[in-house]
A and B are shown apart, each in its own frame.
Chain A
């Protein structure tokens, strides 16, 4: 029974991660895109971003909360290790989240819209979007480096070692690239303005290429960790399948990108990113985290059965309430 419950929870974790990335991630990416937009398109792009993101802003970020709740209620042993050994990056992440959430809302709802304050909000919004994406990637990579530990001896072991390295940093860049790739593709369909649309298409293509390049770097940098991602992917049929399919989908994307098929493009991009996540998930399977003391699987980290039951119930009933309302939200605005 416990195993079935854990399996259901794993599905929910997977779904939350995927939805956080493909929905919330695009919001981060939009912040990054504001960094390099040409001057004359700046105002227009900001318009599009506000219109597209405003209604879903709060909802998109709830996936992260759901994840935290599932982790501490359902997998307390792993949660205990994560919060101790990733204290530093988690605090950095939180600081970013705070600035981002505020900057975005303040920019939109400040009653007096003068140039200076709008500029400052935008600056913080972009900066914190980049900052937070990097840390999200770093945290994701750190879970699987095998350097997490609750028993660090000195400041280095406690605060830095678990996450400091080239590989996590490249993962941070990769995350940023994924997020902004998604944002650019989503935004193509959000505007009727030809110039802006052409710009989004250009950006989407460039980000697509960066994504592939950084992905390559990620494989290379894994050697610095004395592991080989290539091998890990090769040894899992499913992971290989995901990787290949995600790459093939790029062709579809490039073919369709000029045509007027906004939704199809969105679906392709989201599917690619989901496949990448599935692949990543399957090479660490069935481990939730890798610590210095050894790997901890979902099953080892799980809470007692009654708790798992309640959690699954809450999630199932919660989904029954959340998904219809979420779909309604998207219907009204898209």
Chain B
């Protein structure tokens, strides 16, 4: 394995691992607070038990999120020292705000976890909400930092030196809004769906019905609302990418030749030799419309760009298609859910479907990030610095990769085991 590949894989694994816990950390506090709120209002013990059950899960998952996040904050430097040296002063600002948000989150979490019967119940409730708000804020900040890598601004280069740094402009770069929005909705959606799936499973096992019915409705309502929003938000992302990173869009869509009335391909595999899509269903004009709201708009094809600036086509295309397929499907599921909610009864087959669907949101998140990150290649800072230029000059990166791969596999397995015990215990 080359050092570059090993470093990229290390980064991908660390982030792909962390994002799962990050999404949970941004969403669970809100679910918890809803249940907690209902308990405080109705004094229904079911809601209290639910809050505490979720809280135990959050405590475990938060710890894993925190340690993997700590690893990440070092790893950026360990793997890409020149990137950080270069980019640190420019995009440090969202990171420093992120740090503040984490701090508040950690304090609020301590108060929430251990504060039962020690504080005024509503103040205690509010600390739970604060965990969610600060987690959410930190998510936005860190995605803004990532967005800067996709659409860098807020600095100038003179004679190889960075000058006129404007951290504010860098943070609020053209990509920050669509990326943050899409990510935050994705987190709510994916976690809502996963939690709903767990409670659907417990409902099917006919165990203490009422609590799981309540949990299912809270979580699935959140997931369903987000599932309806997400295709719109994703569409907004696609339009921004068309404008900001045309080569990424072309790779996502397998669009080789610049054309107006560009077709949208469903499925298929891009063939870089023949420069065409193989085995795809083409819907004429739809890409032009999706990207620019106009069936006749011209969409730039990959051929406009030198081959050395192309991202790996297959990965980007497939992961994008996977995300969109899941997103569209989940929107349908959401419609069904509201139908059954209105009818006030969920048929077992629907609950079973929810169990099967529970990991889908996370799959879409991973696919989406692969699209974004691999689609940015070969750049680490789009248009300014190549990933290969940023690599540390330290040899033996593959050991780094194996160490962390092992660590994450082990941690992931441990976490799954602990959650299984939690569900067993409460089942």
Show the binding face of A for B, using Cβ within 8 Å. Answer: 54-59, 61-62, 64-66, 68-70, 72-74, 76-77, 79-80, 82-84, 87, 90-91, 94-95, 97-98, 100-102, 104-106, 108-112, 150, 155, 158-159, 303-304, 306-307, 310-311, 314-315, 317-318, 321-322, 325-326, 328-329, 332-333
The answer on a CB contact under 8 Å between A68 and B67 is no
Whether A303 touches B392, Cβ cut-off 8 Å, given contacts A56-B110, A111-B56, is no
Question: Which B residues, 399 to 427, have Cβ-Cβ distances below 8 Å to chain A?
Answer: 400, 403, 407, 411, 414, 418, 421-422, 424-426
The proximity string for B residues 379-402 relative to A, scoring 1 for CB distances below 8 Å and 0 otherwise, is: 000000000000011111000100
Q: Is B320 an interface residue (CB 8 A)?
A: no
Q: Is B5 an interface residue (CB 8 A)?
A: no
The answer on a CB contact under 8 Å between A110 and B421 is yes
The answer on a CB contact under 8 Å between A58 and B106 is yes
Whether A91 touches B84, Cβ cut-off 8 Å, given contacts A76-B89, A111-B426, A303-B89, is no
How many interface residues does chain B have, given as a range? 35 or more
The answer on a CB contact under 8 Å between A76 and B88 is yes
The answer on a CB contact under 8 Å between B90 and A307 is yes
The answer on a CB contact under 8 Å between A105 and B63 is yes
The answer on a CB contact under 8 Å between A62 and B106 is yes
Q: How far is the CB of A183 from chain B (nearest CB, A)?
A: 18
Q: How far is the CB of B373 from chain A (nearest CB, A)?
A: 20
Can you list 27 A-B pairs, Cβ within 8 angstroms, ordered by A? A54-B113, A59-B110, A61-B106, A62-B103, A76-B84, A76-B86, A79-B85, A79-B88, A84-B392, A84-B394, A94-B70, A102-B64, A109-B60, A111-B418, A111-B422, A112-B424, A303-B92, A306-B165, A310-B92, A310-B96, A314-B93, A314-B97, A314-B100, A315-B96, A329-B107, A332-B115, A333-B110
Contacts of B69 in A (CB 8 A): 65
The answer on a CB contact under 8 Å between A95 and B407 is yes
The answer on a CB contact under 8 Å between B167 and A306 is yes
The answer on a CB contact under 8 Å between B84 and A79 is yes
Q: Is B78 an interface residue (CB 8 A)?
A: yes
Q: Is B284 an interface residue (CB 8 A)?
A: no
The answer on a CB contact under 8 Å between B114 and A66 is no
The answer on a CB contact under 8 Å between B114 and A72 is no
The answer on a CB contact under 8 Å between B426 and A318 is no
The answer on a CB contact under 8 Å between B99 and A62 is yes
Known contacts A322-B103, A328-B107; 20 further A-B pairs (Cβ under 8 A) = A59-B106, A73-B88, A76-B84, A76-B89, A82-B77, A87-B400, A98-B71, A106-B60, A109-B60, A111-B421, A111-B426, A155-B396, A158-B395, A304-B163, A307-B90, A307-B92, A310-B167, A321-B100, A326-B107, A333-B110
Contacts of A83 in B (CB 8 A): 74, 77-78, 81, 84, 392
The answer on a CB contact under 8 Å between B85 and A109 is no
The answer on a CB contact under 8 Å between B115 and A325 is no
Q: How far is the CA of A307 from the CA of B71 in the complex (A)?
A: 24
Q: Of B81, B84, B114, B414, which one neighbours A333 at CB under 8 angstroms? A: B114
Q: How far is the CB of A330 from chain B (nearest CB, A)?
A: 10
Q: How far is the CB of A84 from chain B (nearest CB, A)?
A: 5
Whether A102 touches B394, Cβ cut-off 8 Å, given contacts A58-B106, A79-B84, A95-B403, is no
Q: How far is the CA of A126 from the CA of B174 in the complex (A)?
A: 47
Q: How far is the CA of A129 from the CA of B422 in the complex (A)?
A: 26
The answer on a CB contact under 8 Å between B165 and A65 is no
Q: How far is the CA of A108 from the CA of B418 in the complex (A)?
A: 11
The answer on a CB contact under 8 Å between B88 and A311 is no
Closest-by-CB residue of B relative to A54 is: B114
Q: How far is the CA of A259 from the CA of B270 in the complex (A)?
A: 78
Q: How far is the CA of A264 from the CA of B81 in the complex (A)?
A: 44
Q: Is B292 an interface residue (CB 8 A)?
A: no
Q: How far is the CA of A104 from the CA of B78 in the complex (A)?
A: 26
Q: How far is the CB of B95 from chain A (nearest CB, A)?
A: 5
Contacts of A314 in B (CB 8 A): 93, 96-97, 100
Q: Is B73 an interface residue (CB 8 A)?
A: yes
Closest-by-CB residue of B relative to A62 is: B103
List the 6 shortest-distance A-B pairs measured between CB atoms, nearest first: A73-B92, A105-B63, A58-B106, A318-B100, A303-B89, A83-B77
Closest-by-CB residue of B relative to A92 is: B403
Q: Is B276 an interface residue (CB 8 A)?
A: no
Q: How far is the CA of A94 from the CA of B257 in the complex (A)?
A: 47
Q: How far is the CA of A253 from the CA of B315 in the complex (A)?
A: 64
The answer on a CB contact under 8 Å between B96 and A55 is no
The answer on a CB contact under 8 Å between A158 and B394 is yes
Q: How far is the CA of A98 from the CA of B403 in the complex (A)?
A: 12
Q: How far is the CB of A14 from chain B (nearest CB, A)?
A: 17
Closest-by-CB residue of B relative to A88 is: B394
Q: How far is the CB of B124 from chain A (nearest CB, A)?
A: 10
Q: Is B119 an interface residue (CB 8 A)?
A: yes
Q: How far is the CA of A55 from the CA of B124 in the complex (A)?
A: 13
Q: How far is the CA of A73 from the CA of B73 in the complex (A)?
A: 12
Contacts of B111 in A (CB 8 A): 55, 328-329, 332
The answer on a CB contact under 8 Å between B85 and A59 is no
Contacts of A64 in B (CB 8 A): 70
Contacts of A100 in B (CB 8 A): 67
Q: Is B218 an interface residue (CB 8 A)?
A: no
Whether A307 touches B89, Cβ cut-off 8 Å, given contacts A59-B107, A84-B394, is yes
Q: How far is the CB of B75 from chain A (nearest CB, A)?
A: 8
Q: Is B243 an interface residue (CB 8 A)?
A: no
Contacts of B256 in A (CB 8 A): none
Q: Is B166 an interface residue (CB 8 A)?
A: yes
Whether A325 touches B107, Cβ cut-off 8 Å, given contacts A90-B74, A314-B96, A332-B115, is yes
Contacts of A112 in B (CB 8 A): 421, 424-425
